[in-house]
Every structure is written in structure tokens, then in C-alpha cells.
């Protein structure tokens, strides 16, 4: 909440009406002859050609799916194929004006867009640029396949390259654009400005907003087009993306050249069906999708319905909308009306629509209609158009032969390669070397930096006396130091989330950042966790580094798709084309009951492709944040609200002032002992230390306390080393015990050190309940007594100890039987 904007009750309480302007619907009325100023014959023939290529490509896939044969080439493709036969004009119209530096994002039904944008790029790139792209991409792997025996121009070769790379990708070949790891629904090719297509409906909704944010924040040329289905307008992430894209602050609070709207066109490829659901008339209530713009900002997102069956109407709209974006008045919403004759997928029996309806649309077929216009205008004869289509058919047949020939287009030879692609494991000070980061003051003048300078960086002073909280360097200071350091190193770094700017973050980690970092690099997001995570993903896909915050771990559910399906997967699904330097700070709550106090680190640990850490000390917090921000992989960075104010108790000499990294995956022995190992995740470290104190004092049992620090990756060696010594291990964290990641660790320890164990590993977690109110928390979260009781009851009976909690077999069985 910026103080600069005064909310005056007199203003906001005034009576009045919201006035909506008009949203144009199919207002394009030009004839071909009207457009001849802008199009040469060749331009118009190219439009026809591109549409015909897409049609033929899709018909080929359809034939392969339905009859396992196309034009004499036999092939069985078990994978998906969501075709857009009928939607060619919308795709070509969308892509026609776009430059290579303009990025498109798409959906599961985006073959047409890949090809249209690819052909548009080939038309705009010169031979040298095309050769460079084809030679460098995957070390020329794809080029080598298509150039063999090919005699033609570079542009023709590039066309072969585009068709082949897309087709091989659909057929999961290692010579596909994404080494066959993306497939039909995910194929893309960034050198032509084709960014990830997303098989989660609406998945691109917030991701493309993040891409537009990248363009804007880093002053990169080009716009971003989000190709998205009409039915996806129902999806939360799309709505959140739209809200994020239309925030007032771009135009009202961002300063200088950063002032103004996002360069984003949300292009609804409105084929009027979501699978089988009719969006207009059944599953939505907008009547015309363009109406959505009116709900988002006073500009109504410059929304417009455009006739997607006329390529020139779409091109016309793009020319006009581009001007709006150039004037920083974006974003724009386009409702491009189209229709698919093909089913949702080849298994679609079209039970939801009549044959007459499909036939009626075929009567309006864009390719036939456009060809007729060309013939009428004397640009090409029907025979010439037939020749174009026949040539395309031959070309696609030839490429199909190549793409399905195992000798030419092998599958990934070593499937372990997939494992190597899960993480990029990069190390980069900056995602854009050579550019000076935008900051508002020299680092040393920052008030927080000055304040921290006066703090004691260890929990005791030189005489060993405890330092007061106010004078002590706290865990939040460690996070701050790492983050502000990166802001001064990496010009692409942006940080946002709820209350990240003036407030300084809900837990004061960012206090002092507002003074140092301009608005466009540090801002408050809408309360839209889906968009917070999703935009960060799009931002990183384009080459930036993003640090976003989920204020409470409990809100992770709000960005479930982004964290489970998008963030972890794109590095591998892209065949390592894309890097994903996104750090999501997730703060685990305390004292706030059932929806604000859960440790969900286990949920994300289950998802392949994420790096996960949960530091519990200032030293580790700073070191791991440095490592997270230096890396190129997605990190879920857990913090605990219980311990933002702890001082450093373990690292000798206190927290270093300079830069250092704590490597991911390395657990740390916080206290040495010989009798039992306690492995903890997160703030439970301190509970375990209390238990260790009591074990030592009362029972003479020396506990070795190990802080896991990371969940993924995780090096078991130090833990096994400890277990070899002690023979006993308890694992403890605040996560609910059922499905806790600790069980995974316990299982691995059991199989790796079975003969070393004097008892089965015991997991101490929170109960499988709602988190109760603070007053009742002791019954829910692991307490030191639980750890001691667990040791006594299940590992090593302690002389004279009486357990206060129940660890019997019967109780374990009972709890599980009742699911609590």
C-alpha cells in the first residue's frame, strides 16, 4: 500500500455509475481490394500457403492417429494429438505480424501456432540468421537430419527444419525440438519466439504474463501473445494472470520508462468448445468472451472480438493492438472466433455437436474462402493453389517418413538422460552479464544494511553472554543480506509477493529493500498465489531470475498447478532449452491455527524437479539463499515464522559478512553425540536440541542432532555415518506425520544401514489433525517430550523414564485405522 496514493473517503463514497465503453465485435469489414496497400501478391500467397501447411500437417496427424497411415506411410502414434483443423486462419493471422522477438505461448492445441509463428519467423529472418539458429540449436542435430540430400534455399531448408523438428517432437524423437521430452502438447522452439505450450488448460495464463513482465522490466523488445482457449477463461490461474497483468501500479506507480502497461496480448483462440462443453450457452456466462475485458480495468483491456475465419481480419487487429502496446497502454484481450472440425482429440465422437453444425462451418472454411478471394483477385489460379497444396502434401509425407524412421530419428538412447535434465545445476552471478542493476542507492547507504552492521553476528558476545534480540543478527537478517546482495549483482532479479514492498514483507525480511530497489524490481502482487508463482515461471523462461514469496505455506495450495506441474517440469520438458531460476520463499506459519500453520514441505518434496531447503539458522539461511539465487533451478525455500528472530548458535565466529554458499543437499551436524541420532527438518531443530539436553542431563544419553537443511537433493552419507556410530535414529519435523518426507528418509536409512540399526528409525511428526489454536499447539506439534518418549518406547528404554505420550504398536495401529 503506497502512501503516495491517498484514499479519500469523500471521493470513494460519491454516488455515480460505472460506464462501459463499446467492445467491438467482428467490426472488420475490409475487402481484399481494400488491403492491397499492405499486402503484395507474395504476402497473400504466403498466408494461403501457411494455412495450407497447417491444415495438411494436422490432417496427417489425424490420419496417423485414426488409421496409422498417411499417404502410404505407416506409423502408430500412441501419444496425444489435439488438433485444430479449421483454426488455421486464426493461427496464421495471429503470427503474421509478429517479429522473432515477439513470444507466443500456447496450449495443448498449438501445433498450428508453432507452425504459424515458425513460418512467420522464417519469413522475417535472413539466411545468415536462419543458418546460425539451425546450426547452433542442439549442436545442429536437427539440421543434420533435414539438410541431408536437401537441395533448396536456406529458407526452404528452414521450413523443412520447422516441420521436421515439430513432427519429431510429437513422435517423441530425440531429434525433436525438445528431444522428444515435450511431445505434442508441449512442443516449442524459442529461437523462433515459440515459447512453451502448456497441456494444463489455462497453464499459459499466468506464465505469459510473467513473460510480458520480463520484457517490460528488462526493457526487451517485443510483445508476448498468450494463446489460450475460450474454456480456459474459467481457470483460476488465467484469471489471476489477467489480474496480475492489469494491475494499476504499472501505470500509476512504476516510474520513468517503466511506467505503463504490460506488452501482452491475451489471444483467446475461441473455438467455442472446452472439450465438449459449449462455452457460450453452457459452461460460461460471458456470451461473448471479449466481454471479460470489461471486468478487468477501465480500458476493458482494449478487448475486441475478431473473426478468426478471416486471416486478414486477425492481422488487422494485431496491427491495431500492437500500437496500443507500443504506447504502453496494454495489455490487450482478443477474442478470436474460430472453430475446429476435428474433435477435441481423435477419440472424440462429437456427441456434443451436430454434423450439420460442423458442415455449416466447413462451408465457411477459411482456406477455401481465402483461396477463392485470391483467385477472384487474379492473384493465383485454382490450379496454382492446387499445386501449392500438392507440394505441401509431398513435403509433409517426406518429413513424416524421416520423423518416423528410427534410423534417422531415434528415440532417446539412454533414458537416464532424462534424469540429467531434471536440474540444470547452473551457477550464475547474474542472468544477464554486463548490465548494471537498477538500484536507488549505494548498498552501504541502505538503512537496514547500516543497522545490521551494528549487530552481533552470533548469539553470544565475546564474553559468552547472550546477546539481546535487538542487537543480535537474526535469521531474517541472513535472508536479507543474501537477497539484497543479489539485487546488486543480477539486473534481472525481481522480487514480489504480497506486502513485499512498503511493508517489507509480512515478517520483515525485506525491511530496507524498498529504499534500495525501484518499483519494477520489487513490488506488491495481487493476492494471487497462482499468478505469483506462474508469472515467476514465465519470467524465468525468458531469461530472468525471480524471487517470489508465498506468505504462508498453507497458501501453496493456491498455486498448486504452478508448483506441481509447471515450475518443476519445464527444464526437462524443454529438453534443457529452458532454465528455471525461480526461488519461491514459503513461510511456514505459527500460532494462527488450521489454515496458517502447516509445514507442507513434504508435498513439494514428492514432486520431481524441485530443489527444496528449510534452513533453521541464520548461517544456513544466508548460505542457502545465496546458493538458491546463484543457481538456475527452481527452489522452494521454506522458512519458519517461529525462528525468524533466532541468532546463530552453531557457526563458529558467527555469520560471515561476506558472500558464501551453503550447498544444497548437505545435512549439517549441529551437535555431536554417540548414542542416538536426531535428524530434523526446519525449526524442529530447536525442539530436538532441547530433547538432547534432557537426554544428556537425565539419562546420560548423548544425542547427535543433524539438521537436514535440504530435502531435495539430499546426501544421506553424513546421516548414515552418524547412524553407523549411534545405531539409532529419530526423525522429527513439524509436518503431519502421515506422508511426511521423514518417512521417505527413514525408509532410505533403513535400507542403507539396516545392519547398523539397533531399532527401526522412528518418525516424530505433527498429528494428522487440523493445526489447532496456539493454546492447543502442544498437543499437535512435536515436543521435546515426544522425542524422548519415542526413544524410550521404541528405541532405547531409558532408566527411570515414564512416557507421557503413547508410542505403542496398538496406538500406531489405532491412529492409522481411524485415519488420524
Partner 1 sequence: MATPVIMPKQGQSVESCIISQWYKKKGDSVKTGDLLFSYETDKASFEEEAKTDGVLLEVFYNEGDEVPVLYNVAVIGQAGESTAEFSPDGFAGNASAADAPEATSPVVQAAPVAVATVSAASADGKIKASPRARVMAGKKGIPLASVKGTGPNGRIIVRDIEAAQPVAAVATPVQAPQSPVAAASVSEYGNAEYEVKKLTNIRKLIAKAMHESLQNSAQLTHHLSADARKLLALRETVKKAQKADPAFPNVTLNDMVCWAVIRALEKNPEANSQFLGDSIKTFKQVHLGMAVDTPRGLMVPVLKNAGDFSLKGLSNHLRALAEGCRKGGIDPELLQSAAGSFTVSNLGNYGVEMFTPIVNVPQVAILGVNAIVQRPADIGGGVTAFVPYIGLSLTYDHRAIDGGPATLFLKEIKTQIENFQVHID
* DSSP assignment letter at 225: E
**Which of 511/725 has CB closer to partner 1?**
725
Nearest distance in Å: CB 757, partner 1: 5
DSSP H helices, 542-683, are 560-561, 570-573, 601-605, 618-630
**Which of 412/676 has CB closer to partner 1?**
676
Nearest distance in Å: CB 751, partner 1: 11
Nearest distance in Å: CB 716, partner 1: 17
Cα–Cα dist 402/392, whole Å? 15
Residue 713: cis peptide before it, omega within 30 degrees of 0: yes
Residues 6 or more apart whose Cβ sits within 8 Å of residue 790? 730, 762, 764, 807
**Which of 376/724 has CB closer to partner 1?**
724
Quick check: 527 binds partner 1 (CB under 8 A)?
A: no
Query: Could you tell me which stretch among 270-278, 553-561, 708-716, 791-799 binds partner 1 (CB under 8 A)?
Result: 791-799
DSSP H helices, 171-290, are 203-217, 236-245, 249-252
**Which of 463/755 has CB closer to partner 1?**
755
Nearest distance in Å: CB 617, partner 1: 31
Cα–Cα dist 682/690, whole Å? 15
Cross-strand bridge partners of residue 333: 266
- Smallest CA-to-CA distance from 752 within 777, 778, 715 is with 715
Cα–Cα dist 638/585, whole Å? 6
Q: What is the DSSP string of 600-636?
A: -HHHHHTSTT-EEE---SHHHHHHHHHHHHHBSS-EE
Nearest distance in Å: CB 143, partner 1: 42
| Residue that is written with C-alpha cell 468448445 in the block | 273
Report the relative pairing of strands 194-197 and 103-106 from DSSP bridges. Answer: parallel
**Which of 37/810 has CB closer to partner 1?**
810
Nearest distance in Å: CB 744, partner 1: 20
Catalytic residue check, 818: no
**Per-residue binder mask for partner 1 (CB under 8 A), 627-666, x = binder:** ----------------------------------------
Residues 6 or more apart whose Cβ sits within 8 Å of residue 544? 214, 217, 218, 431, 432, 492, 493, 494, 581
Query: Could you tell me which stretch among 121-129, 239-247, 253-261, 793-801 binds partner 1 (CB under 8 A)?
Result: 793-801
**Which of 425/674 has CB closer to partner 1?**
674
Nearest distance in Å: CB 755, partner 1: 5
State which of residues 796, 798, 801, 803 lies at the interface with partner 1 (CB under 8 A). Answer: 796
**Which of 132/811 has CB closer to partner 1?**
811
**Which of 665/760 has CB closer to partner 1?**
760
Helix 618-630 vs helix 475-487: crossing angle, to nearest 10: 20
State which of residues 793, 798, 801, 803 lies at the interface with partner 1 (CB under 8 A). Answer: 793
Query: Could you tell me which stretch among 555-563, 602-610, 633-641, 788-796 binds partner 1 (CB under 8 A)?
Result: 788-796
Query: Could you tell me which stretch among 107-115, 169-177, 428-436, 787-795 binds partner 1 (CB under 8 A)?
Result: 787-795
Cα–Cα dist 162/143, whole Å? 10
Helix 311-326 vs helix 88-96: crossing angle, to nearest 10: 40
Cα–Cα dist 803/795, whole Å? 13
Number of residues forming the site for partner 1 (CB under 8 A): 12
Report the relative pairing of strands 582-588 and 546-550 from DSSP bridges. Answer: parallel
- Smallest CA-to-CA distance from 97 within 312, 346, 407, 286 is with 312
Asked if 448 and 487 count as a contact pair (C-beta separation under 8 A), the reply is no
Q: What is the DSSP string of 69-87?
A: EETTEE----S-----TT-
Asked if 630 and 545 count as a contact pair (C-beta separation under 8 A), the reply is no
* DSSP assignment letter at 230: S
**Which of 657/758 has CB closer to partner 1?**
758
Quick check: 669 binds partner 1 (CB under 8 A)?
A: no
Nearest distance in Å: CB 478, partner 1: 39
Nearest distance in Å: CB 764, partner 1: 15
**Which of 230/793 has CB closer to partner 1?**
793
State which of residues 795, 798, 801, 803 lies at the interface with partner 1 (CB under 8 A). Answer: 795
Quick check: 775 binds partner 1 (CB under 8 A)?
A: no
* Among 520, 596, 651, 792, the one annotated catalytic: 596
**Which of 231/749 has CB closer to partner 1?**
749
Cα–Cα dist 39/1, whole Å? 49
Nearest distance in Å: CB 753, partner 1: 9
**Which of 275/759 has CB closer to partner 1?**
759
Nearest distance in Å: CB 798, partner 1: 11
Quick check: 537 binds partner 1 (CB under 8 A)?
A: no
Cα dihedral: 245, 249, 250, 252 (round 10): 140
Cα–Cα dist 256/248, whole Å? 15
Report the relative pairing of strands 69-70 and 73-74 from DSSP bridges. Answer: antiparallel
Enumerate residues 17-76 that contact partner 1 by CB under 8 A: none
Cα–Cα dist 475/647, whole Å? 6
Nearest distance in Å: CB 759, partner 1: 6
Report the residue count for the chain: 820
Cross-strand bridge partners of residue 586: 550, 638
DSSP H helices, 171-235, are 203-217
Cα–Cα dist 176/159, whole Å? 14
State which of residues 41, 769, 797, 813 lies at the interface with partner 1 (CB under 8 A). Answer: 797
Helices and strands (H, E) in the chain, number of each type? 28, 22
Enumerate residues 705-764 that contact partner 1 by CB under 8 A: 727, 754-759
Where do contacts with partner 1 occur on this chain (CB under 8 A)? 727, 754-759, 793-797
Catalytic center residues: 596
Amino acid at each position: 500500500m503506497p502512501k503516495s496514493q491517498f484514499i479519500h473517503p469523500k471521493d470513494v463514497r460519491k454516488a455515480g455509475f460505472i460506464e462501459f465503453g463499446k467492445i467491438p465485435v467482428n467490426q472488420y469489414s475490409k475487402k481484399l481490394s481494400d488491403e492491397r496497400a499492405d499486402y503484395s501478391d507474395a504476402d497473400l500467397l504466403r498466408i494461403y500457403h501457411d494455412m495450407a501447411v497447417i491444415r495438411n500437417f494436422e490432417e496427417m496427424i489425424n490420419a496417423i492417429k485414426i488409421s496409422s497411415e498417411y499417404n502410404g506411410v505407416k506409423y502408430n502414434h500412441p501419444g496425444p494429438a489435439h488438433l485444430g483443423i479449421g483454426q488455421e486462419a486464426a493461427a496464421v493471422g495471429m503470427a503474421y505480424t509478429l517479429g522473432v522477438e515477439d513470444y507466443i505461448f500456447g496450449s495443448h492445441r498449438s501445433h498450428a501456432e508453432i507452425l504459424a509463428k515458425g513460418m512467420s519467423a522464417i519469413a522475417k529472418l535472413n539466411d545468415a540468421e536462419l543458418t546460425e539458429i539451425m546450426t547452433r540449436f542442439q549442436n545442429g542435430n536437427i539440421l543434420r537430419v533435414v539438410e541431408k540430400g536437401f537441395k533448396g534455399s536456406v529458407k526452404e531448408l528452414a521450413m523443412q527444419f520447422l516441420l521436421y523438428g515439430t513432427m519429431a517432437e510429437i513422435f517423441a524423437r530425440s531429434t525433436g525440438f525438445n528431444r522428444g521430452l515435450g511431445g505434442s502438447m508441449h512442443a516449442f522452439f524459442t529461437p523462433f519466439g515459440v515459447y512453451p505450450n502448456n497441456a494444463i488448460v489455462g497453464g499459459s495464463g499466468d506464465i505469459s504474463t510473467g513473460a510480458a513482465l520480463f520484457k517490460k522490466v528488462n526493457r526487451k523488445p517485443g510483445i508476448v501473445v498468450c494463446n489460450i482457449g475460450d474454456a480456459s477463461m474459467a481457470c483460476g490461474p488465467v484469471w489471476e494472470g489477467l489480474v496480475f497483468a492489469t494491475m494499476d501500479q504499472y501505470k500509476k506507480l512504476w516510474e520513468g520508462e517503466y511506467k505503463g502497461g504490460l506488452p501482452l496480448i491475451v489471444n483467446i483462440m475461441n473455438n467455442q468448445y472446452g472439450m465438449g462443453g459449449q462455452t457460450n450457452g453452457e459452461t460460461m456466462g460471458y456470451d461473448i468472451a471479449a466481454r471479460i475485458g470489461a471486468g478487468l480495468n477501465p480500458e476493458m483491456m482494449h478487448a475486441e472480438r475478431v473473426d478468426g475465419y478471416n486471416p486478414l481480419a486477425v492481422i488487422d487487429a494485431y496491427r491495431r493492438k500492437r500500437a496500443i502496446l507500443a504506447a504502453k497502454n496494454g495489455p490487450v484481450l482478443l477474442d478470436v472466433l474460430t472453430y475446429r472440425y476435428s474433435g477435441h482429440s481423435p477419440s472424440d465422437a462429437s456427441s456434443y455437436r451436430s454434423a450439420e453444425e460442423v458442415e455449416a462451418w466447413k462451408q465457411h472454411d477459411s482456406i477455401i474462402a481465402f483461396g477463392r478471394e485470391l483467385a477472384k483477385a487474379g492473384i493465383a489460379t485454382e490450379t496454382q493453389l492446387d499445386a501449392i497444396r500438392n507440394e505441401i502434401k509431398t513435403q509433409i509425407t517426406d518429413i513424416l517418413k524421416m520423423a518416423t524412421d528410427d534410423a534417422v530419428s531415434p528415440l532417446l538412447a539412454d533414458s537416464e538422460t532424462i534424469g540429467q535434465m531434471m536440474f540444470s545445476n547452473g551457477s550464475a552471478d547474474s542472468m544477464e552479464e554486463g548490465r548494471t542493476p537498477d538500484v536507488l542507492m549505494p548498498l552501504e547507504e541502505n538503512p537496514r544494511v547500516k543497522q545490521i552492521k551494528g549487530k552481533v553476528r552470533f548469539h553470544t558476545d565475546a564474553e559468552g553472554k547472550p546477546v539481546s534480540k535487538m542487537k543480535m543478527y537474526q535469521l531474517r537478517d541472513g535472508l536479507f543480506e543474501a537477497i539484497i546482495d543479489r539485487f546488486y549483482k543480477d539486473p534481472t532479479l525481481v522480487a514480489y509477493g504480497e506486502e513485499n514492498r512498503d511493508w517489507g514483507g509480512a515478517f520483515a525480511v525485506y525491511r530496507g529493500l524498498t529504499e534500495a530497489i525501484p518499483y519494477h524490481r520489487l513490488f506488491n502482487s495481487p493476492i494471487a498465489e497462482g499468478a505469483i508463482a506462474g508469472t515467476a515461471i514465465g519470467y524465468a523462461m525468458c531469461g530472468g531470475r525471480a524471487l517470489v514469496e508465498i506468505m504462508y505455506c498453507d497458501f501453496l495450495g493456491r498455486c498448486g498447478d504452478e508448483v506441481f506441474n509447471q515450475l518443476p517440469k519445464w527444464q526437462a520438458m524443454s529438453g534443457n532449452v529452458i532454465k528455471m531460476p525461480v526461488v519461491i520463499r514459503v513461510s511456514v506459519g505459527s500460532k494462527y491455527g488450521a489454515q496458517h500453520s502447516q509445514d507442507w514441505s513434504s508435498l513439494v518434496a514428492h514432486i520431481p524437479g524441485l530443489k527444496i531447503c528449510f534452513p533453521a539458522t541464520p548461517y544456513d539461511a544466508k548460505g542457502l539463499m545465496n546458493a538458491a539465487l546463484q543457481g538456475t533451478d527452481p527452489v522452494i525455500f521454506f522458512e519458519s515464522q517461529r525462528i525468524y528472530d533466532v541468532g546463530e548458535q552453531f557457526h563458529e565466529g558467527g555469520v560471515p559478512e561476506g558472500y558464501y554458499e551453503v550447498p544444497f543437499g548437505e545435512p549439517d551436524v549441529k551437535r555431536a553425540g554417540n548414542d542416538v541420532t536426531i535428524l530434523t527438518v526446519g525449526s524442529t531443530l530447536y525442539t530436538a536440541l532441547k530433547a538432547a539436553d534432557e537426554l544428556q542431563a537425565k539419562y546420560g544419553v548423548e544425542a547427535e542432532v543433524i539438521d537436514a537443511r535440504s530435502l531435495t537433493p539430499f546426501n544421506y552419507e553424513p546421516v548414515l555415518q552418524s547412524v553407523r556410530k549411534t545405531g539409532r535414529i529419530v526423525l522429527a519435523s513439524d509436518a503431519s506425520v502421515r506422508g511426511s518426507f521423514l518417512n521417505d528418509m527413514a525408509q532410505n536409512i533403513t535400507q542403507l544401514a539396516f545392519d547398523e540399526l539397533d531399532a527401526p528409525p522412528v518418525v516424530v511428526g505433527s498429528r494428522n489433525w487440523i493445526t489447532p489454536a496456539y493454546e492447543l499447539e502442544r498437543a499437535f506439534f512435536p515436543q521435546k517430550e515426544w522425542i524422548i518418549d519415542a526413544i524410550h518406547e521404541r528405541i532405547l528404554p531409558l532408566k527411570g523414564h515414564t512416557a507421557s505420550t503413547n508410542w505403542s504398536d496398538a496406538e500406531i495401529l489405532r491412529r492409522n485405522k481411524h485415519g488420524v
